[in-house]
Chain A
Amino acid sequence: MRALHVLLLLALAAAAAACAAPPAPADFLVVDSGRGEVKAIAPDDSLFWVRQFKDGMRGDFAFWAEALEKEFVENRGYTLLEKRPVKWNGAPGVELLFEVSAAGRARRYLATMAVAPGSFASTIRVAEYVADKERFGEHLGAVRAALGT
């Protein structure tokens, strides 16, 4: 009976953690959050967005990492500047740094992706950080600290 209670508590804690909004970088203002998602903005208009997507196909991390990189580089023409493996909430992940000209300005875009396997569907978590090229470095440390990567 006691073991069942412990299991229930653990399951509830895991569910609560999954629903909790991830933290935003220290110098960002949260504009929206909930269900493992957060949307935040910095005073200089740099943007930070964490989201999660359910994956019923249950592709593994390697598959989605390759799909993400190909989509950005080959399909959309982003310039890949850097790629590094990361651990995000204990799951294997990848961090991709791109340079892109968007809305008439040179910008840098950081995409961090990890895949958490589940019983019925995997969860793909994506964190995106967009800033003007000249200002990108100013928040990079805070963004990585918020993600724990």
Chain B
Amino acid sequence: MRQGHTLTRLSLFCLVLAPAMGCRAGMDGRAAAADVGFAAPHAEAGIARAAAPQAAPAPSAAPLAAPAERLMIYSARFEVLVANVEDGVRRFLGWVEEDGGYLEARNNGQVTCRVPADRFTALLNRIQDLGAILSESLEAEDVTLQSLDLTIRIENAERSRQRLLDLLARADDIEATLKIEQELRRLTEELERMKAELKLLESRVAYSTVTVAFRSNAPAATAVRRRAASRFPWLRQVGIEHVLENF
């Protein structure tokens, strides 16, 4: 809903200012980004690996600058059959480290890592070297509009905050001062929240998520089954069951 309001405000702003700006509003970065946002994303869920980003956008140097290109969050999940799960996990983590990524979570044979977005495709291409791929899925989420919306809301909030500061400087009665200060506090909190949200979004764009679930292809260990006790006494006293029970 908030996004809708913001876009409506932006549209009205453009309509009003377009003639004055020689209809150039649609050519500036923000509008261009919004237009791109409505186009069909090139990396929709279920696409082939080749359609993954060749060089996804790096985190913006100036967090509050309007995004100049489409911002995508990529995540992939694989299920791989390997001879030895531990070896597979070690190899995979080695690649992640080489690529400047890090381990986010590990649960037995399942590992979730974050890698810089520009190393995402390269890492995916190496996963097939680990073993037979049983399943794979790739997801891409376009957050261009979300980022644009946040950026505009932050800019608006900062302008409002500046106006409140100006009013505060001119306020001459206590009641007005208190009201302005209260509003300033609320606005500052809102501003901080939105900035944190934007930062998180940028982090998710900058680092893609890769989850690999390792499965062992070693022959399933057979359960111990005893047909009958051996007729040789010493044979009845050896074996894994006996060792485990008598330590």
Contacts and interface: CB of A to CB of B under 8 A. Distances in A.
A76 B219 contact: no
A3 B232 CA distance: 41
A78 B222 contact: yes
A82 interface: no
B235 A130 contact: no
A47 B234 contact: no
Nearest to A109: B240
A68 interface: yes
Interface residues of A, number: 34
Interface stretch (A12-20, A84-92, A96-104): A96-104
Given A67-B232, A100-B240, A107-B240, A79 B226 contact: no
4 nearest A-B residue pairs (beta carbon): A101-B221, A53-B234, A77-B225, A106-B221
B241 A102 contact: yes
Interface string A121-134: 00010101010011
Contact of A67 (B226, B235, B239, B241): B235
Contacts of A74: 227
B125 interface: no
Tell me what chain B mostly uses at the interface: helix, strand, loop, or mixed: loop
A1 B19 CA distance: 129
Contacts of B230: 67, 71, 75
A104 B193 CA distance: 49
User: By CB atoms of chain B within 10 A, which of A41, A71, A72, A130 has the most?
Assistant: A71
A18 to B, nearest CB: 17
27 contacts: A39-B247, A47-B243, A47-B244, A51-B237, A53-B233, A67-B235, A71-B239, A74-B227, A76-B225, A76-B227, A77-B224, A78-B222, A78-B224, A99-B219, A100-B240, A101-B221, A101-B224, A103-B244, A106-B218, A106-B221, A107-B240, A111-B238, A111-B239, A128-B243, A130-B243, A130-B244, A134-B86
B68 to A, nearest CB: 49
